[in-house]
Structure 1
Amino acid sequence: MSHPNNNLPSNEEVELIVGNSNSNFSGVTSTMLQVTSIQKDMMNLRIMGKHFVPDPSLVISFWDVVKMCRKPLSNGKWRIFHARRVDEMIQGVILKYLFGAKIKLVFSSAAQRKRSGFTVWLSNRMDAVIAMSNRSASFLNKPPAKINLHGVQTENYLPAENKQEAWQSLGYGGKYGIGILGRVREQKGVHLFVEACIEVLPKYPDVNAVVVGAISSSNQEFVNQLKDKINRAGLAERIIFTGELPFEQIPKIFSALSLVSALSYNEGFGLTVPEAMSAGAAVLATQAGAWEDIIRPGVDGYIVPTKNQKAVTEKIDLMLSDMDQLAAMGKAGREHVVQNFKVEDEARNLVEFFRTLQ
C-alpha cells in the first residue's frame, strides 16, 4: 500500500497536471496510474481528480488548478495539462480559455474511429496531440505531434520458469494452456477463439483453453450458445469459461499460458498483447489497436484480419503444431517487450516530449 509522500514540493512549482475525470476504473485509469507512478520522480506533478489515486497528496482539485495556474512557473515556463479523455480536454480548454490558465494542453488519443465534430474542435485547441499507435494516428484529423505506445510493467508480467507446471497448478486440466482474456462479448472475438478451439483441440489432446473475463447479463445468451457448441463437441472439460477473476490473478494466468489470443474487432490500444508477451506467451491478434505496431509476425506471434474465422483457426492450428516453436515465440516476445515496451519508456518519452513544449 502506498503512503502519502510528505516530501512533495509545494503546489507552487507543479509542472504537470494529469487529468483523472472518470469515477469508473478503466484501462485509461490503469495506464495513467502506472505512468504517473514513474513520472512523479521525473516531474513535479499533481493528478486532477481523486479517483483510485493511492497517494492523496498527489491529488489536486479543479479550483486549485485555476488558482495555481494564474501565473507561470518561477522560471517563466508554463505548466503541462495532460488529458486522456474527451471530458478532460473540455476541462483543459475551460482552464486555459475561460480562466486564463498558463498551461500547455496535451491530449493522448487512442480511439480508432472517426471523431465527432466537437472532439475535432477540442483537439484543435490542444497545443499537442499524441497518438497511442499508428492506427489511432490515422483517425486524427491532422498528423499527431508524436506517437507514443503504452508500456507494460514487465516486473509484474513475468514468464513462469516452467509453463507446463504453472499451467497444471491452475487446475484447468491438460499439459498446456491457451486463452483469451477480457470482457466476454462478440466484439472481443471470443466466438472466433472458441470456434477455432472446437475445430483444432481434438488434434492436440495435451492443450486446454480458457476464456477469462466478466460476462454481463446482456452477453449471457451469447455465452450460452458458445457453451452449447462446446458441449455438443464433447469439449466441456477442455474449453473453460472462468468468469471474472481478481485483477491480481491475471499476471499468474498470463505467465502460465503458452498462447494468448486477442481478436477484437476494434481496440483503443490493447494492453493484453504486450502483457501476454511480457509473460512469455506467444500471441495471435487481429488488425486492431496497437497490435500491428508490437507483434512481429512469425517471430513472437501472428496478426490476422478482424472477423476472419478461417484465419484464426488456421493460425491456432499452426501454432499448436509445434510446441517448441511456440515456446520460442514466447521467449522472443518477452525480450521484445523488455527492450521496447516498458512502462518506464512510455513515462520517459512523455516527460521528454513535455519538456519540448514548455
Structure 2
Amino acid sequence: MTQVELKDIRVIAPNFKKRLSGVTSTIIQLVPVQNRLGQKVATLGPGLPENLPHIRFRDLWRLWQQAPGGGPRVWHARRNLEMLPGIFMRDVLRMKVKLVFTSAAQRKHSGYTRKLIAQMDEVVATSARSGSFLEVPHTVIMHGVDTELFHPPKSNDDTIEATGLPGKYLVGCFGRVRHQKGTDLFVQAMIALLPSYPDWTAVISGRVTPEHKSFADKLKADIDAAGLSKRIVFLGEVDDIKPWYRRLTLYVAPSRNEGFGLTPLEAMSSQTAVVTSDAGAYAEMVLAGETGTVVAAGDGDALRNAIKNRLENPAETLEWGETGRSHMLNNFELQGEARALQKIYERVAQQGGHPNDRR
C-alpha cells in the first residue's frame, strides 16, 4: 500500500476486517475524496487497495503527539473491533486521540456495543432509521457515491450489445449471493416474469462463499428447470462492476436485511432506475415513483409486481433512470458526505474532557 507517515495525518480510518464488506467499500470510496479536500486521512489494517494512503501499526506511538497543526487526531471507527482499541489508546494509554463512530446497523445494539458507543466522542448514523436505534446524541450523514466513477452510459461498451446477451434491456441484481440479500426473491421474480417479456435479460453478480454455495446451486437449478439459463445469467464476481450498472435499464436490490446499502445509489448515479426493498436506508434514498419503487423487505409478491411494472414500461423506466442521476447529483455526491464528516472532525477535535463528562 501507499505508506504515509502518521506525523502528517489528522484522521485514521481503521479497517480491521479483511473480507470485503459494505464498510470496506465505504472506506475505499471515501478516503480518496477526503484527501482531495485536504482532510489528511489514512487507513490502517488489511484488505484495502494499494492506492489508499496507509499507516503502519508500529507508527501508532505518534498518537501521544499532537496532530499536524495541533490538537488530537481522530480515530474514525465503523465496527466494534475498531472502537475498542480506540478506547484503549485514549483512556488507558492517554494518547491524544478523539473517537468517532459511524453506525449503519438497522437493529437494536447488543449491550456490549451500546457500552462501546457510549464511550465515543462523536457518533454518526448513516440514516434516520439507523439513528433510531442509538441511545446517544448523533448526527445523520448518509453515504454518497463518486458520481464521476459511477456515471451514465458514454460508449458502446455501456450497452447490452457489448455483453453478447440476448434482448434489448438488462435487469440486474448485484451483491453477495445469499438469503439475506434476497437473491432468491430476484430469481423467483425473473423466472415468473421473463417468459412474458422477451426483450429483457437478467444478470446476477456477486461472490458465492462456501457456506452459501448450496443456496446458489439451488437457484441455478431452478433457472435451468425453467429453461431460462440463457436469460438469467450468473456473472460471478466481476473485476469492475461499474460498466454493468451502465448497461442496465433496471437495478433490483431485494435485500431482506441491510446495514446501509450502496448499490441503489451506484445504480442511480449510473442513470439506472431501481426497485428496492425497504431494508437498510433504501427507502430514504429512493424517490418513489420518480427514480424507483420501494417494497417491503421479504415480500416476494410485491417485489415481482414492482419489477413487472418496470418491464412493462421500459420508456418510463429509462426516464426514471435520468431522474435518478439528477437526484444523485443533488443529494448523494460523495463530496457532500466528506464535507459533513469534516465538520464532525473539527468539532470533536475542539472538545475537552471525556464523553461521559459531557453527557
TM over 0.5: yes
The match for 1:102 is: 96
Q: How does 1:225-236 map to 2 (within 5 A)?
A: 225-236=218-229
Mapped contact 1:168–1:176 kept (Cα < 8 A): no
Q: Secondary structure at 2:64's aligned position in 1?
A: coil
The match for 1:22 is: 17
What percentage of aligned pairs have identical amino acids? 37
Q: How does 1:248-327 map to 2 (within 5 A)?
A: 248=240, 250-327=241-318
The match for 1:175 is: 168
Alpha-carbon offset, residue 258 of structure 1: 0.5
Structure 1 runs not aligned, ≥5 long: none
Once residues 8 and 145 of structure 2 are traced to their aligned partners in structure 1, the CA distance between those partners, rounded to angstroms, is 29
Once residues 54 and 165 of structure 1 are traced to their aligned partners in structure 2, the CA distance between those partners, rounded to angstroms, is 27
Q: 1:29-54: CA deviations, max 9, x gaps?
A: 22113211122242233333365253
The match for 1:349 is: 340
1:48 aligned onto 2:61: no
Q: 1:78-115: CA deviations, max 9, x gaps?
A: 22211111111011000001100122110011122221
Once residues 220 and 18 of structure 1 are traced to their aligned partners in structure 2, the CA distance between those partners, rounded to angstroms, is 33
Alpha-carbon offset, residue 59 of structure 1: 2.9
Once residues 349 and 272 of structure 1 are traced to their aligned partners in structure 2, the CA distance between those partners, rounded to angstroms, is 21
Q: How does 1:208-247 map to 2 (within 5 A)?
A: 208-246=201-239
Mapped contact 1:86–1:119 kept (Cα < 8 A): yes
The match for 2:110 is: 116
Aligned positions, number: 348
Residue 94 and residue 63 in structure 1: after superposition, are their counterparts in 2 closer, same or farther (change >3 A)?
farther
Letter in 1 for 2:12: I
Letter in 1 for 2:313: D
Alpha-carbon offset, residue 215 of structure 1: 2.2
Alpha-carbon offset, residue 313 of structure 1: 1.0
Residue 275 and residue 98 in structure 1: after superposition, are their counterparts in 2 closer, same or farther (change >3 A)?
same
Deviates more, 1:201-210 or 1:92-101: 201-210
Alpha-carbon offset, residue 357 of structure 1: 1.9
TM-score normalised according to structure 1 size: 0.90
1:137 aligned onto 2:131: yes
Q: Secondary structure at 1:96's aligned position in 2?
A: helix
Q: 1:161-193: CA deviations, max 9, x gaps?
A: 478971121112111110111111121111111
Once residues 91 and 244 of structure 2 are traced to their aligned partners in structure 1, the CA distance between those partners, rounded to angstroms, is 48
The match for 2:327 is: 336
Once residues 20 and 63 of structure 1 are traced to their aligned partners in structure 2, the CA distance between those partners, rounded to angstroms, is 16
Mapped contact 2:256–2:297 kept (Cα < 8 A): yes
Once residues 280 and 47 of structure 1 are traced to their aligned partners in structure 2, the CA distance between those partners, rounded to angstroms, is 31
Once residues 131 and 181 of structure 2 are traced to their aligned partners in structure 1, the CA distance between those partners, rounded to angstroms, is 22
Mapped contact 2:157–2:243 kept (Cα < 8 A): no
Once residues 121 and 3 of structure 1 are traced to their aligned partners in structure 2, the CA distance between those partners, rounded to angstroms, is 35
The match for 1:69 is: 63
Once residues 289 and 33 of structure 2 are traced to their aligned partners in structure 1, the CA distance between those partners, rounded to angstroms, is 33
Q: 1:299-345: CA deviations, max 9, x gaps?
A: 00010001101101111111111111000001111111122112221
Q: Secondary structure at 2:338's aligned position in 1?
A: helix
Residue 163 and residue 349 in structure 1: after superposition, are their counterparts in 2 closer, same or farther (change >3 A)?
farther
Alpha-carbon offset, residue 244 of structure 1: 2.0
Residue 74 and residue 228 in structure 1: after superposition, are their counterparts in 2 closer, same or farther (change >3 A)?
closer
Letter in 1 for 2:14: G
Q: 1:273-302: CA deviations, max 9, x gaps?
A: 100111111101111111111100000001
Q: Secondary structure at 1:302's aligned position in 2?
A: strand
Letter in 2 for 1:43: Q
Once residues 208 and 265 of structure 2 are traced to their aligned partners in structure 1, the CA distance between those partners, rounded to angstroms, is 23
Residue 208 and residue 120 in structure 1: after superposition, are their counterparts in 2 closer, same or farther (change >3 A)?
same
Structure 2 runs not aligned, ≥5 long: 350-359
1:60 aligned onto 2:55: yes
Q: CA RMSD in A?
A: 2.3
Mapped contact 1:152–1:275 kept (Cα < 8 A): yes
Once residues 177 and 46 of structure 2 are traced to their aligned partners in structure 1, the CA distance between those partners, rounded to angstroms, is 30
Q: Secondary structure at 1:266's aligned position in 2?
A: coil
The match for 1:79 is: 73
Pick one of 28, 32, 43 that aligns with 1:37.
32
Mapped contact 1:15–1:80 kept (Cα < 8 A): yes
Alpha-carbon offset, residue 223 of structure 1: 2.8
Once residues 77 and 255 of structure 1 are traced to their aligned partners in structure 2, the CA distance between those partners, rounded to angstroms, is 45
Mapped contact 2:290–2:323 kept (Cα < 8 A): yes
Q: Secondary structure at 1:107's aligned position in 2?
A: strand
Q: Secondary structure at 1:40's aligned position in 2?
A: helix
